[in-house]
C-alpha cells in the first residue's frame, strides 16, 4: 500500500514532469519506505508492459477497400475503375516480350532445321567443284 500523497505523483514522476523539489522528496520517500517503493515498482512494470505492446497493423489492402467503398457509395462519381491502360504493367510486359524474342531467336539459330540457322548455312561459302573451276577460263 502506497502513501496516497506520494502515489498521486507516480504519473508525473514516471513522465519526468515532476518539479525538481517534489522529485527529490519523492525519491527520498521511495528510498525510505519499502511499501511505496514496491508500489512504484509495480506501477513502473505496468507502464513497461503497456509500452511493450505490439502495434496492431491494419490490413494492407485497406486503401483499396476504402476506395471501393467510396466508389460504391458515391454511385461511381469518385474513384472510378481504372482504365485498362492504367492497370497493365507495360514495363513488365515489354521485358517479358524482349526475353521471349531473344529466346525465339536463339532457338532458331541453334536448331538444326531452324530458319535462321538454315539461312546462315545457305549463305556460307561453298567450295567450287573442280569441273566448274576448269570450265571457267582463268585469267
Partner 1 sequence: MSLRERLLLARLRERDERAFREMVDENRDRVFNLLHRMIGVRAEAEDLAQEVFVTVFKTIDQFRGESKLSTWLYRVAVNHCKNRIKYLARRHDRDTGALDEIAERTAVVQGGEPIGAGQIRNPERALEGAEVEKLVQAAIAELDEEQRLVVVLRDIEELSYEEIVDITGLPEGTVKSRLHRARLALKEKLAKHR
Binding track over 35-74 against partner 1, x by CB under 8 A: ----x--xx-xxx-xxxxxxxxxxx--xx-xxx-xx--x-
Q: Which is nearer to partner 1, 34 or 112 (CB)?
A: 34
Cβ atoms 44, 16 nearer than 8 A: no
Rounded (10°) angle between helices 34-51 and 20-32? 120
Query: DSSP for 57-88?
Result: PPPTTHHHHHHHHHHHHTTTSSSPPPPHHHHS
Size of site (CB under 8 A) for partner 1:
33
Distance CA 7, CA 57 (A): 35
- Per CB under 8 A, the segment of 10-18, 96-104, 108-116, 122-130 that binds partner 1 is 10-18
Task: Catalog residues that contact partner 1 under the rule CB under 8 A.
Answer: 7-8, 10-12, 14, 39, 42-43, 45-47, 49-59, 62-63, 65-67, 69-70, 73, 78-79
Amino acid at each position: 500500500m502506497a502513501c496516497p500523497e506520494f502515489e498521486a505523483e507516480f504519473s508525473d514522476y514516471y513522465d519526468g514532469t515532476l518539479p525538481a523539489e517534489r522529485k527529490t522528496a519523492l525519491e527520498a520517500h521511495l528510498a525510505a519506505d519499502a511499501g511505496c517503493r514496491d508500489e512504484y515498482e509495480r506501477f513502473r512494470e505496468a507502464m513497461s508492459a503497456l509500452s511493450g505492446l505490439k502495434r496492431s497493423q491494419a490490413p494492407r489492402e485497406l486503401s483499396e477497400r476504402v476506395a471501393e467503398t467510396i466508389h460504391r457509395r458515391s454511385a461511381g462519381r469518385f474513384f472510378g475503375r481504372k482504365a485498362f491502360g492504367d492497370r497493365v504493367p507495360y514495363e513488365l510486359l515489354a521485358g517479358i516480350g524482349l526475353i521471349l524474342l531473344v529466346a525465339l531467336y536463339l532457338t532458331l539459330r541453334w536448331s538444326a532445321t531452324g530458319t535462321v540457322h538454315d539461312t546462315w548455312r545457305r549463305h556460307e561459302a561453298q567450295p567450287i567443284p573442280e569441273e566448274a573451276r576448269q570450265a571457267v577460263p582463268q585469267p
